[in-house]
């Protein structure tokens, strides 16, 4: 699947969302760092630049909430198409289901 967002922009957006969630929860950077086990300078750098290890990212989201959403977002979908040509070539025509009772 083609993405129109660069990895750098995605990192920055994730950092902005994490910061917004932290502020919504009324946590200071120090408080979040202590609760998550992520070093304070690492958290500050993440909020400023978006750079963070995956492990630290997951630790932060254990505290901020949304870890389950991250896991759901990375699940493999049963069938996904990357272009309209793939849809048209697909043999999986859905069978209509209709009730038989009146």
Q: Where are the domains of the chain?
A: 7-73
Which pLDDT score, from 0 to 100, does residue 76 have?
A: 77
Helices 40-49, 54-64: axis angle to 10 degrees equals 90
Q: Which fold has domain 7-73?
A: 434 Repressor (Amino-terminal Domain) (1.10.260)
Q: Whole-prediction pTM value?
A: 0.71
Which pLDDT score, from 0 to 100, does residue 92 have?
A: 67
pLDDT in tens, 34-88: 999 999 999 999 999 999 999 999 999 999 999 999 999 888 777 667 788 877 7
């Amino acid at each position: 699947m083609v993405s129109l967002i660069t990895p750098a922009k995605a990192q920055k957006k994730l950092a902005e969302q994490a910061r917004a969630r932290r502020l919504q929860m009324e946590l200071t950077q120090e408080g979040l760092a202590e609760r998550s086990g992520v070093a304070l300078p690492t958290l500050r750098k993440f909020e400023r630049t978006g750079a963070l290890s995956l492990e630290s990212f997951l630790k932060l989201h254990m505290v901020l909430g949304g870890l389950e959403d991250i896991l759901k977002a990375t699940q493999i979908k049963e069938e996904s198409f990357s272009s309209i040509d793939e849809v048209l070539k697909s043999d999986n025509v859905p069978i209509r289901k209709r009730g038989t009772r009146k």
